[in-house]
A and B are shown apart, each in its own frame.
Chain A
Amino acid sequence: MNQIEIDNVSCGYSQREVLKQISLCIQPGKVLVLLGPNGSGKTTLLRALFNLVIVNQGKVLLEGQAVNQLSRKQIAQKLALSPQMEAPQWPMTVEETVQLGRSSHRGWVQPFQAEDTEIVDTALQQTGLAELSQRKITEISGGEWRRTLIARALAQQTNVLCLDEPTTGLDLKYQVEILSLIRNLAHERDLTVVLTLHDLNLASCFADQIVLLSQGRIAATGTGEEVLTEERLSDVYQTKVKVLPHPEYQTPFIVPVL
């Protein structure tokens, strides 16, 4: 069974339809990367998985169930999202923020258990935040805040992990570390990972499957070699590019030509 099935979906916001007739199947244990220019509908596609947009046509199936039939709590137990942007309001600590990822498992009144503390500690370690756990989220750097959001999504312990531009604002070390962590989790625990990226080369290295979006439609889907070709990228991004083989892995390596 497909973990996620998007069947001929057209969706968007009240004034504007962003995605048009998208069909896509996502298998467990794979890292799927959504690529595309600004405004091509990457984030909207992620939001459609969470039933956060107006679906005009088609349906999104999560483990065979229509996502708009599920309660918020049920969705949160199956899907986790690390959002692109989020403004912290009150000065909670990093640990408290990550802990709230456990909410959907504990309900609204039951206190957190020892099991939750363990899961939270693991998530903090995996994202390199163990030493910052008592810092206030209003006083940490942008990269640390992004890792906090990823840790919170990890703490949800869902089968599907969605990350909206998880590497934005991270230095090279954490870009590679976070993506390696996510890929390992996907392959070891059979986790389904859907993420959006802007860096074509990172996508080419880490993705098992790439979906290239252009103006709300799927321009191409497949492995890096299949999708990331010179003509297609030049066309979709309206910028001339050259594709070379990566010196280590032979995956496509994209450089713009000025």
Chain B
Amino acid sequence: MQSRQLFLIWRLLPLAGFLLVALLVGIHWGAVELSFGEIRQNLWNPSEDSQMSLILWEIRLPRVILAACVGGGLAVAGAAFQGVFRNPLADPFVIGASTGAALGATIALLCLSGSVSILSATWQIPWLILSAFLGALLVVGVVFIIAALSQTGRNAPLLTLILAGMALSSFTGALVSLIMFLNHEMLATIFNWLLGSFSGRHWDEISLVVPVILFSGGLIWLMSRPLDLLSFGDETALTLGLATGKFRVIILVAATMCTAACVAVSGVIGFLGLMAPHMTRIMLGPRHGLLIPGSCLLGAGLMVMADTLARTVIAPAEIPVGIVTAMMGCPFFLFLLISRGQQTK
């Protein structure tokens, strides 16, 4: 058994390698190209006055690290939502966590800023994150209450949760649109933020958000076995000894927290939270003990790649990274689905 667990860790190595390559490429490419020699030199011996060192430490590194953390966080949250809901279509958007966070953040943007350059003042960031988090928790909480109130049969809660989540997501999305509509001058800011981007983020944002992502992601990883049990359905999980209600709440709160932190710092970046767990499941199998760290590594790597593309394709301008994840991810994901179908035939 010991050796088998060691073997499991080995299976994560290719994904870790992929993340490393993505990080290096992400640091290497940009408006100013940093050679790998320069990266190595400036990484070990940062100097105050070197321009290369400044670009590396103040622009590239924070950006790729944040992209990696958000990508990993969204992927882990996606895996958790899919596991809890026993539904392959679930993702961070499905029960309204993401749109709830968007609403919270939009309100915060509205209240906090007189100026257009919202994210330049770092003191605002904690409020933005907190507001996004509260928004997410509020929407998810309402979804839960509705699901509990409308519960009829013995198998009802999962489906009602998803349906209520979808309904509330639309409602919250409409609220965000309404706020944008009523505040023309904020339209561009909010819209840009909603599309998702990592541009202009610094160490301050990272130090606020990353601990939340790490904590909630780690908590979800610890819940691997409960997630495995939940995949057989509530009743079986109960007879196998899992107090399903309690664990479902823990996992959903952790996944919501993770989503909220990601959305708060980077906006709404779609598709990755749905895609990364599925790709990892094809590669590593469905056991959550391996699926969750695997999804995290893959999601992080993909996000760094997407962000690198987003800021280099039409440089010096940037595409919002959410557009890149959807446009690049979707065809690749469909290709994976088809090729897997061919294999099993």
Chain A positions within 8 Å of B, measured between CB atoms, are 13, 50, 52, 71-73, 75-77, 79-81, 83, 86-93, 96-97, 100-101, 103-104, 108-109, 111-114, 116-117, 152, 156
Contacts and interface: CB of A to CB of B under 8 A. Distances in A.
A113 B1 CA distance: 6
Given A90-B231, A90-B286, A108 B226 contact: yes
Contact of B231 (A50, A89, A109): A89
Nearest to B239: A81
A77 B241 contact: yes
Contacts of B287: 92, 96
A254 B229 CA distance: 41
Contact of A100 (B1, B229, B238, B247): B229
Contact of B235 (A83, A93, A97, A108): A83
B173 interface: no
A89 B86 contact: yes
Nearest to B154: A13
B235 A76 contact: no
Given A100-B228, A103-B240, A92 B285 contact: yes
A4 B88 CA distance: 40
- Chain B interface residue count: which class? 20 to 34
A88 B286 CA distance: 11
Given A71-B243, A93-B285, 18 more contacts: A72-B238, A72-B243, A76-B240, A77-B241, A83-B239, A86-B233, A89-B233, A90-B231, A91-B285, A91-B286, A96-B228, A96-B287, A100-B229, A101-B240, A104-B240, A113-B1, A114-B2, A116-B1
Contact of A109 (B1, B2, B225, B235): B225
B5 interface: yes
15 contacts: A52-B238, A72-B242, A87-B233, A88-B232, A89-B231, A89-B233, A91-B286, A92-B231, A96-B228, A100-B225, A100-B228, A103-B229, A108-B223, A111-B1, A156-B240
A75 B241 contact: yes
Contact of A111 (B5, B223, B241): B5
Interface string B7-44: 00000000000000000000000000000000000000
Nearest to B5: A111
Contacts of A81: 236, 239
Given A72-B243, A96-B287, A114-B1, A52 B235 contact: yes
Contacts of B225: 100, 103, 108-109
B236 to A, nearest CB: 6
Interface string B216-227: 000000110110
